[in-house]
A and B are shown apart, each in its own frame.
Chain A
């Protein structure tokens, strides 16, 4: 769908031209025209609370190990699972032992890590940080602000939007609700002036009882409901009415597509993340019925704000995460969608190398996971940072300055998704401050 068609869609959908501001119109005015024959999907797994992701990848021996243990003390991970990345790492690198489920996925080169990544405006050294010589992301270490920074893929501006939504709009795929699906509710990543994710129930199909079926009663109730939902002129009330009406329309459309999906339940366990990914898999399995070319999905997992009891809670979280990812990987192979689907993680921030006794506090740089057949897997990208308290990248207390901007991480996936290189900077404005605009972890 090109821009003209998109605008025409908006009109048909009841969004009046007058409601589109000049600024929003500009959002569509990419210089390029996009058209896709194949299907691709990006699946974002958001780890709410700030994953202590530096503890997912730890040194095994030598000086790096010694510095790590001295820094991490009682929260240092012992018995890591040795990984053999394509590029060998001095001192070795081990995976958190509770993440054994994804070790084979890594070794089979379907999974990679992006290391030392975080929110940055420009490349930042410790001296820059100490001297306030460069602009920094606003409200570092604050949960909701840093979540927003990851999801927006740029610094706060007045009319902000998520980079997922911007990506869909830029490649002219924003018009169909099935391209923008959330299993975890409203979120900034998938939201822009024109786009709000369709929120799919975890069970996939959800009947709308009052209007289910074709009885006279159901038809009558549906007619009156439709009328009532469009009645209000109050801006908040009419927004609510519009939302309910579109929830009904889209849910019914989705129901009829997903009802015909094959049974994938045997691939997934019962955890919340597994069940969300199960529904994503079901939805991807009917991609042709949905006529979807480019889709973004959002799922989430909470509990990563491990200020206390980290030795108990964090391994459990990583174990569940790892299990769910491995299941999804298998399911994608089963429906032959592996090469078309890329799953990746985001999280508020990494955590401090220092402990507060039995937990960690809000940090900055961390590691992220990217998985799928199109990933140049079995490798660690970015910069596997030395976990060195008071070391060269430590702002204080073990909050490490990222060596890779999260926008570099995102742009690599946007490229794979189909965005032209010339438009990367339009999507991620801070890229102009960095020498390389993307990393090489996607097979493009």
Chain B
């Protein structure tokens, strides 16, 4: 597969001063290839035949040139080999590779370097190529492939290839930074394990890990035969705290804030297994195709109940009944295309009057409302005898599906008498293929995972991958997620934006503390009632389908800027005080080692490791660790000094109190609250 930027390097080698001796070891594997005739002497072997008549090389261009020469005095192709100083390089290291040939050949041959893959390298020497990989150019691993062709006076050529990789191994600081973005809150061990791996390697490993589903973790409520709402919350904690597939858990959490369902004050609070199954489908499709995700979400009976398309019937004109428009509206406004036509970079398209352009009107709403008729619980005996199976995708009853024509987006129309399954397939394809989907979904994922204010260029680069993963496939979420994390903007390469980053979601701040401090109860249950009251959010517990916060929320403090800070929509005074108290209670009051007796149902944090660290190695060792663990290596001098000053008061007390108060101060600090 030739990259479009393949360059061909052509050098005439002069007699004097060939530094062939710089190569350290000859490549014993290399055997001269039978010469490829069309490479002889021409710098443009890439398909152009226009120049062929100007070649001074005597006609060995066609057929097999070597046969023509067989009767002559046995000219032979140059004897060459190559050497490369390593198979793999780290970013910043010097790469060196050479072609080795006899002194005689070196005097009389031409050497042509051709690069087949890897970022384009300008080759400035002939026999030996040396360059350094700038680690600040890209986070992607680089896989280089060169071919060198040496052609002697007789016009005979030999070719050799050189392959090597440059691995962007992460420093401790770099892996901490990635893991803050790509897990629900990293532990110190996770950061250490990731350090030394490349960004891509870590992401690929995470994507390949087996899925930690939540459903198997949903236990029955104590002394009852079935689970209750708190049991699925318990399962969410167990998975979030312990799962190895942290990237998937993080992306699924982000998806749960786009494809919103909620059992907060709805009838779904009685369906914990269905709710867990819904979360599982987000996990399952986090790295699958968006089209499949959209279909699974649409057919989920949980979504069907939440947005009321389950049991939705075709029109009954006599009774003034028409199809329910709820899902039709929200699937467009929130799950696929949004209200306004978008450019690929996520900005609004404008009409000739500089006005935004609506993506749909009432006609399309009614068209899609008809599409979402005739669906109810799987394995229902009859339409009016629903099975109430909340875990399997809904099934269609065509008798209740609208047979009318259905107007979709961009003027597409589903003809009359199309059945429920076909209508759904056509309608979801219609949504999926709308130009808005890539920028709409990409930008929101970037905001949930990386930064509140991505540059248009960042959105466009990710959206382009959403539209085509490189193999012509649209909607590949694994590729999209990788593009989000590996983008230079996410990795802070080139010139970082001054406003880069996002406010951490309050629930996820706690998840990190609980992961770091191995939080558990003696009964191993996480019965955290009222998460939405404590944090302003809880998993699948939004107050409405518009999520806890909107992606375009701008707090008053930023109104003079173009900047958005979605997470600050839930940072009102009462919530902030509540969260300050919650962190304090967790980190100061609920440290297991500070209690003589543990209440078996209460959650406790275990801080023994850091207690030992401060006793053995002192405060600065703890601060060095926290710099990586909580600040991804970016703890400011001022923050460090504040922690030192904080500790001064507690230094004479027991070391658990010291640790507690340090981590508490971190928990409320703006520096920790910002994910960068």
Note whether A and B form a binding pair. yes
CA A116 – CA B669 in complex, angstroms?
50
Residue among A70, A221, A359 with most chain B CB within 10 A: A221
CA A198 – CA B573 in complex, angstroms?
6
Is A283 interfacial (CB 8 A cutoff)? no
CA A361 – CA B324 in complex, angstroms?
7
In the complex, are the beta carbons of A192 and B568 less than 8 A apart?
no
| Least Cβ–Cβ distance between B76 and chain A, in angstroms | 67
Is B646 interfacial (CB 8 A cutoff)? yes
For residue A98, which residues in chain B have a CB less than 8 angstroms away from its CB? none
Is B333 interfacial (CB 8 A cutoff)? yes
In the complex, are the beta carbons of A247 and B555 less than 8 A apart?
no
For residue B501, which residues in chain A have a CB less than 8 angstroms away from its CB? 234, 236-237
For residue B638, which residues in chain A have a CB less than 8 angstroms away from its CB? 231
| Least Cβ–Cβ distance between A5 and chain B, in angstroms | 20
For residue B561, which residues in chain A have a CB less than 8 angstroms away from its CB? 235
For residue B571, which residues in chain A have a CB less than 8 angstroms away from its CB? 186, 240, 243
In the complex, are the beta carbons of B322 and A228 less than 8 A apart?
no
Given known A159-B559, A228-B670, A231-B636, contact A357–B311 (CB-CB < 8 A): yes
**Which among B323, B558, B580, B670 is the interface contact of A241 at CB below 8 angstroms?**
B670
In the complex, are the beta carbons of A236 and B649 less than 8 A apart?
no
| Least Cβ–Cβ distance between A230 and chain B, in angstroms | 9
For residue B320, which residues in chain A have a CB less than 8 angstroms away from its CB? 70-73, 353-355, 389, 398
The size class of the interface chain B forms with chain A is 35 or more
CA A234 – CA B499 in complex, angstroms?
6
For residue B325, which residues in chain A have a CB less than 8 angstroms away from its CB? 356, 361-362
| Least Cβ–Cβ distance between B465 and chain A, in angstroms | 26
| Least Cβ–Cβ distance between A163 and chain B, in angstroms | 15
Per-residue CB contact flags for chain B residues 634-670 toward chain A (1 = under 8 Å, else 0) read 0010110010011001000000000001001100111
CA A396 – CA B313 in complex, angstroms?
19
| Least Cβ–Cβ distance between B477 and chain A, in angstroms | 26
Of A34-42, A200-208, A400-408, which stretch is located at the interface? Answer: A200-208
CA A17 – CA B638 in complex, angstroms?
27
**Which among A74, A145, A182, A305 is the interface contact of B339 at CB below 8 angstroms?**
A145
In the complex, are the beta carbons of A231 and B639 less than 8 A apart?
yes
In the complex, are the beta carbons of B322 and A356 less than 8 A apart?
yes
In the complex, are the beta carbons of B577 and A239 less than 8 A apart?
no
In the complex, are the beta carbons of B333 and A303 less than 8 A apart?
no
For residue B665, which residues in chain A have a CB less than 8 angstroms away from its CB? 221, 224-225, 228
Is A12 interfacial (CB 8 A cutoff)? no
For residue A217, which residues in chain B have a CB less than 8 angstroms away from its CB? 649
For residue A194, which residues in chain B have a CB less than 8 angstroms away from its CB? 556
Is A232 interfacial (CB 8 A cutoff)? yes
Is B171 interfacial (CB 8 A cutoff)? no
In the complex, are the beta carbons of B329 and A362 less than 8 A apart?
yes
**Which among A208, A309, A396 is the interface contact of B577 at CB below 8 angstroms?**
A208
Per-residue CB contact flags for chain B residues 344-377 toward chain A (1 = under 8 Å, else 0) read 0000000000000010001001000000000000
For residue B54, which residues in chain A have a CB less than 8 angstroms away from its CB? none
In the complex, are the beta carbons of B574 and A199 less than 8 A apart?
yes
Is B597 interfacial (CB 8 A cutoff)? no
Per-residue CB contact flags for chain B residues 551-577 toward chain A (1 = under 8 Å, else 0) read 000011111110101001111111111
For residue B219, which residues in chain A have a CB less than 8 angstroms away from its CB? none
In the complex, are the beta carbons of B642 and A227 less than 8 A apart?
yes
Of B1-9, B65-73, B140-148, B542-550, which stretch is located at the interface? Answer: B542-550
**Which among B333, B536, B646, B674 is the interface contact of A236 at CB below 8 angstroms?**
B674
Q: Which of B316-342 contact A (CB under 8 A)?
A: 319-326, 329, 333, 339
For residue B499, which residues in chain A have a CB less than 8 angstroms away from its CB? 234-236
For residue A209, which residues in chain B have a CB less than 8 angstroms away from its CB? 580-581, 584-585
Given known A354-B320, A357-B313, A359-B308, contact A221–B339 (CB-CB < 8 A): no
Is B588 interfacial (CB 8 A cutoff)? yes
For residue A236, which residues in chain B have a CB less than 8 angstroms away from its CB? 452, 499, 501-503, 558, 563, 565, 568, 674
CA A201 – CA B578 in complex, angstroms?
9
Is A366 interfacial (CB 8 A cutoff)? no
For residue B575, which residues in chain A have a CB less than 8 angstroms away from its CB? 185, 199
Given known A239-B565, A302-B544, contact A234–B670 (CB-CB < 8 A): yes
CA A220 – CA B638 in complex, angstroms?
17
Given known A234-B499, A239-B565, A357-B311, contact A228–B574 (CB-CB < 8 A): no
For residue B308, which residues in chain A have a CB less than 8 angstroms away from its CB? 307-308, 356, 359
Given known A182-B572, A208-B581, A239-B565, contact A225–B668 (CB-CB < 8 A): yes
| Least Cβ–Cβ distance between B363 and chain A, in angstroms | 10
Is B671 interfacial (CB 8 A cutoff)? yes
Closest to A15 in B: B557
Closest to A196 in B: B556
In the complex, are the beta carbons of A235 and B577 less than 8 A apart?
no
In the complex, are the beta carbons of B649 and A220 less than 8 A apart?
yes
CA A139 – CA B332 in complex, angstroms?
13
In the complex, are the beta carbons of A196 and B319 less than 8 A apart?
no
Q: Which of A234-269 contact B (CB under 8 A)?
A: 234-244, 246-248, 250-251
Given known A145-B339, A209-B585, A244-B576, contact A229–B544 (CB-CB < 8 A): no
Q: Which of B481-507 contact A (CB under 8 A)?
A: 498-499, 501-503
In the complex, are the beta carbons of B573 and A142 less than 8 A apart?
no
Q: Which of B278-320 contact A (CB under 8 A)?
A: 307-308, 311-313, 319-320
Closest to A353 in B: B320
Q: Which of A65-84 contact B (CB under 8 A)?
A: 70-74
Closest to B653 in A: A217
CA A142 – CA B578 in complex, angstroms?
32
Is B673 interfacial (CB 8 A cutoff)? yes
For residue B322, which residues in chain A have a CB less than 8 angstroms away from its CB? 354, 356, 397
Is B265 interfacial (CB 8 A cutoff)? yes
For residue B580, which residues in chain A have a CB less than 8 angstroms away from its CB? 208-210, 244, 248
| Least Cβ–Cβ distance between A31 and chain B, in angstroms | 24
| Least Cβ–Cβ distance between A187 and chain B, in angstroms | 9
Is A49 interfacial (CB 8 A cutoff)? yes
| Least Cβ–Cβ distance between A49 and chain B, in angstroms | 7
CA A234 – CA B631 in complex, angstroms?
14
Closest to B585 in A: A209
Is A195 interfacial (CB 8 A cutoff)? yes
In the complex, are the beta carbons of A303 and B670 less than 8 A apart?
no
CA A236 – CA B584 in complex, angstroms?
23
Is A376 interfacial (CB 8 A cutoff)? no
In the complex, are the beta carbons of A192 and B556 less than 8 A apart?
yes
| Least Cβ–Cβ distance between B383 and chain A, in angstroms | 11
Is A440 interfacial (CB 8 A cutoff)? no
In the complex, are the beta carbons of A229 and B577 less than 8 A apart?
no
In the complex, are the beta carbons of A195 and B577 less than 8 A apart?
no
| Least Cβ–Cβ distance between A22 and chain B, in angstroms | 11
In the complex, are the beta carbons of B669 and A231 less than 8 A apart?
yes
Closest to A192 in B: B556
For residue A159, which residues in chain B have a CB less than 8 angstroms away from its CB? 559
In the complex, are the beta carbons of A216 and B649 less than 8 A apart?
yes
Instruction: Identify 14 residue pairs between A and B in the complex whose beta-carbon atoms are under 8 Å apart, listed by A's number.
Output: A139-B339, A141-B365, A206-B581, A209-B580, A210-B580, A221-B646, A224-B646, A235-B561, A236-B501, A239-B558, A243-B555, A243-B573, A247-B573, A355-B321
**Interface residues in chain A, defined as those with a beta carbon under 8 Å from any beta carbon in chain B:** 19, 21, 24, 48-49, 70-74, 139, 141-145, 159, 182, 185-186, 191-202, 206-210, 216-217, 220-221, 224-225, 227-229, 231-232, 234-244, 246-248, 250-251, 302-303, 305, 307-309, 353-357, 359, 361-362, 389, 396-398
Q: Give the top 9 A-B pairs by smallest Cβ distance, nearest first.
A: A199-B572, A356-B324, A247-B573, A237-B670, A232-B670, A307-B308, A237-B674, A241-B670, A199-B573
**Interface residues in chain B, defined as those with a beta carbon under 8 Å from any beta carbon in chain A:** 265, 267, 307-308, 311-313, 319-326, 329, 333, 339, 358, 362, 365, 452, 498-499, 501-503, 536, 543-546, 550, 555-561, 563, 565, 568-578, 580-581, 584-585, 588, 636, 638-639, 642, 645-646, 649, 661, 664-665, 668-671, 673-674, 676
Given contacts A207-B581, A221-B665, 14 further A-B contacts (CB under 8 A): A48-B544, A221-B649, A228-B639, A231-B642, A234-B674, A235-B558, A235-B561, A236-B502, A236-B503, A239-B565, A243-B571, A246-B573, A247-B574, A361-B326
